[in-house]
Structure 1
Amino acid sequence: MQENFWLAFALTSFAGLSTGIGSLMALFAKRTDTRLLCAALGFSAGVMIYVSMIELMSEAKASLVHYAGHSLGGWLAVGGFFGGMLLISLIDRLVPHPVNPHEVSHVEKAGSQEHKDQKLLRMGVFTGLAVAIHNFPEGIASFLATINDPAMGMMIAVAIAIHNIPEGIAVSLPIFYATGSQQKAFLYSFLSGVAEPVGAIIGYLFLQPFLNEFVLGLTFAIIAGIMVFISFDELLPAAEQFGEHHLSIYGLISGMLIMAVSLLLAD
């Protein structure tokens, strides 16, 4: 697994720093293509849900059953899955509503309200911090998945990258409207994504001395829970807000299909 370290780091960095893509879209596009964003977010959710339920949970259960036996291993896998959901939901709850990047109702309206510059700047900075907090577990998920299976990790990284684009928009717009500086807006958005590779490295260094079948299996179960929660709590609602219900579902199914085919081809 160690030979995949740099690939895992590169993919995790790509996923995290795609917040910069969202920032560029917000700052330079005259109008965001919300239909495309809707389908892309649905696609991202499809990839995450499929890989979590079909691949990660299978890997988690196999490792935990081998380590702890059929009955206990199964319970550990299920416990890890819902524990991951609980963990990311607690992180989400700790982020105040006004600065939660997943609460922006529409790309075009994100910076249109008349607020004082200081309030907008504060909102942008705190949104950046919120994104950074959310990116920590996502970075660990992408990194460890790639370490274990590069093909699966690549698809997860792409899904997370798509997911990070609207977060980049949410960070950059308030800062741009507060300061009038595209450079500052892009910088804050870009830096918020740095938490993803940083979180990945910290998580890996912490877990690496203890990596065995039990730790790896439990980690995969937790990651699966985190990604399923993100899909249902963030990606699909955001997709519907940015576009149409059916378009988000078509994106969801496409993501699942492409993930399934790519994993079969990689075998």
Structure 2
Amino acid sequence: MSGLFTEAALLALGVTVLAGLSTILGSLAVLRADRADPRLLAIALAFAGGAMVYVSLVEILGKSAGALVMEHGLRWGHGLATLAFFAGVLAVIGLDRLVPNPHADVAAAAAAEKTELRRVGLLAAAAITAHNLPEGMATFFATLDDPVLGSTLAFAIALHNIPEGISIAVPVFYATGSRWKATMATVVAGLAEPVGAVLGYLVLAPILTPTVIGLLFGAIAGIMVFLSLDELLPAAKRYASGHEATYGMLGGMAVLAVSLVLLR
């Protein structure tokens, strides 16, 4: 078992832990009694969505195709990468069917009764925890293969984990009056990412051939694009009052593009 966790694997796990625990930053919203600024939430969500779409389509899917082309030739390589991409999309759609992922409207939730707030907070925590598992796998395997790529993906995931933390912490705090309980709810959700990384690594480490890596990256790209389009960008539009979602999305793409160039 110890042989599996090489220096590279430990580095990838560390990056995944940092990305996951950024959820805790969302609990800082409960240190003040007023609500989080909806426009800032819109920008943050859209920024993360744009960053994740860009890095998935420009880098991760390219790495998938590259690995598979080397093993199976041009046509089959690109075909397998494409199939893996949409397999990832279908996998996360299936997860959505099993555990719908609510993005609580913080302002509306805070006006509800305490029992409703508690239900909203716990439901959000459970759903976000489940959805953080594949994100943890994505960050881990991306970092394991390429620390620069993994770090940029972790940055994008960390950004969108912050407003997710807010959607958990604020209703829990207003329901219970306990900042500690609100913070611990975000800790549990954040730890799902390294847990998902470790479980995925233990299952896949013995069979990490170039073909498996290529298929895995294709699926990761599909998962990240779907999460961005289905969750982050629509949520950003709900919080926005103008063009914040569009500006945030383009800003996220621009920052990731520049970072990928500078970190080569």
Length-normalised TM-score, structure 1: 0.91
Do 2:30 and 2:173's aligned partners in 1 also have CA atoms closer than 8 Å?
no
Equivalent position of 1:261 in the other structure:
258
1:44 and 2:48 are equivalent in the alignment:
yes
Deviation, 1:246, is 1.9
AA in 1 matched with 2:29: M
Whole-angstrom distance in 2 between the partners of 1:47 and 1:169: 20
Whole-angstrom distance in 2 between the partners of 1:244 and 1:227: 26
Deviations 1:210-241 (A, max 9, x none): 10110100000000000000111111111111
Alignment of 1:95-110 (within 5 A): 95-96=99-100, 100-102=101-103, 104=104, 106-110=105-109
Deviations 1:83-110 (A, max 9, x none): 11111111112224xxx332x2x33222
SS in 2 for 1:92: helix
Equivalent position of 1:55 in the other structure:
59
CA change 1:156–1:245 in 2 (3 A) is: farther
Whole-angstrom distance in 1 between the partners of 2:37 and 2:188: 24
| Gap runs ≥5 in structure 1 | none
Deviates more, 1:1-10 or 1:106-115: 1-10
CA change 1:50–1:67 in 2 (3 A) is: same
Deviation, 1:28, is 2.5
Deviations 1:168-220 (A, max 9, x none): 12222332233221111111121111111111111112111110110100000
1:164 and 2:161 are equivalent in the alignment:
yes
Out of 111, 131, 144, the residue aligned to residue 147 of structure 1 is 144
Deviation, 1:122, is 3.7
SS in 2 for 1:32: coil
Instruction: Tell me the matched-pair count.
Output: 260
Do 1:23 and 1:169's aligned partners in 2 also have CA atoms closer than 8 Å?
yes
User: What is the RMSD computed on CA atoms of the aligned residues?
Assistant: 1.8
Whole-angstrom distance in 2 between the partners of 1:204 and 1:244: 42
1:192 and 2:193 are equivalent in the alignment:
no
Counting aligned pairs with the same residue, the percent is 49
Deviation, 1:22, is 1.1
Equivalent position of 2:198 in the other structure:
201
Equivalent position of 1:19 in the other structure:
23
Do 2:87 and 2:219's aligned partners in 1 also have CA atoms closer than 8 Å?
yes
AA in 2 matched with 1:70: L
| Gap runs ≥5 in structure 2 | none
Do 1:26 and 1:32's aligned partners in 2 also have CA atoms closer than 8 Å?
no
Deviations 1:144-188 (A, max 9, x none): 111111121111111111111222122223322332211111111
AA in 2 matched with 1:246: H
1:113 and 2:91 are equivalent in the alignment:
no
Do 1:120 and 1:175's aligned partners in 2 also have CA atoms closer than 8 Å?
yes
Deviation, 1:123, is 3.5
Whole-angstrom distance in 1 between the partners of 2:242 and 2:224: 21
Out of 226, 229, 243, the residue aligned to residue 226 of structure 2 is 229
Do 1:110 and 1:170's aligned partners in 2 also have CA atoms closer than 8 Å?
no
Equivalent position of 2:173 in the other structure:
176
1:92 and 2:96 are equivalent in the alignment:
yes
SS in 1 for 2:112: coil
SS in 1 for 2:110: coil
Out of 70, 88, 110, the residue aligned to residue 74 of structure 2 is 70
Deviation, 1:2, is 4.7
Equivalent position of 1:214 in the other structure:
211
